[in-house]
Amino acid sequence: MFLILLALWLVFAGSVSVSNLLLGAVVSGLITLLCTRFMGYDPRRFYGSARKLPALLRYIAYLLREIVRENFDVLRFIYRRGQPQSMLVRFKSELKSEPLRVLVANSITLTPGTYTVRLEGDEFAVHALDEYFQIDIEHSAFAGMARKVEEA
Amino acid sequence: MTIRVILAIPFLALAVFVFFSEVLGFYKFRYVMNRMHAAAMGDTLGIGCVLIAVAILTGELVPILKLALILVFMFLTGPVVTHLIAGAEVATHRNAGQEYREVDRR
């Protein structure tokens, strides 16, 4: 987290100079210290999960591709005659970790055409603009990709 | 400079088209939960295209990184609002069930 905060500081500062680096290191160190003391942040666990990074990056790449593809699908529905047959799909996910379930729910919401209405425990309620988008939910490719992150 | 402008124009044009379609879809769909799908387009592809175009136009590393941060911020906050509106609609609309079909795949 220290490194991420420092990188963020340098991006906002706009240049890598000694004063920027020193001040950024002090501030990032302070925030990291505060989080460790009061917010249950564990550096070992944080850096331990770095091995999940490749799977997570693949997930993000897939998410971006999916967003672009579904955008054009929704565009088609806008320029087509008639109202879409929207539906609310409830399904269960096999993902065990809560952060990943939230990640999947947010990914579903980010892709136009589907969004998560409710997420309780392992039960998703997803609204789809048309039957067409529901196919994606059934495949639940996001959940499959997230499982790879979980197993990594 | 001109090469950059030529490269950026397609992205800007696509962004304008997406935003236009978003407004059009907003009026075309009759129910709030369908309208939200149209609204989601501008938040993702629309803003993405604008940021890519601006990134091409500036062409410097630090502003591009800042633009990427804007995109990350949009992607993190967008679903929260969609989620809240959808939750409120399902919770308060008495006949919400008539507007869409419910499918159970549990």
Nearest residue on chain B to A93, alpha-carbon basis: B106
In a domain, B21, yes or no: yes
In a domain, B103, yes or no: no
Among A46-50, A120-124, B17-21, the range with the most confident prediction by mean pLDDT is B17-21
The residue extents of the domains of chain A are 2-41, 49-151
Contact A132/B at CB under 8 A: no
Q: What three-state secondary structure class fits B47?
A: helix
In a domain, B84, yes or no: yes
ipTM score of the complex?
A: 0.81
Total domains in chain B come to 1
A85–B33 CB contact, under 8 Å = no
The string of pLDDT tens digits covering residues B68-91 is 999 889 888 888 888 888 888 878
For B15, the domain range is 2-92
Element holding A152 (H helix, E strand): none
The answer, yes or no, to whether residue B96 has pLDDT greater than 70, is no
A85–B101 CB contact, under 8 Å = yes
Element holding B5 (H helix, E strand): helix B2-28
pLDDT confidence bin for A138, thresholds 50/70/90: low
pTM for this model (two decimals) = 0.81
Among the residue ranges A1-15, A122-136, B49-63, the one predicted with the least confidence is A122-136
Nearest-CA distance B15 → chain A (Å): 12
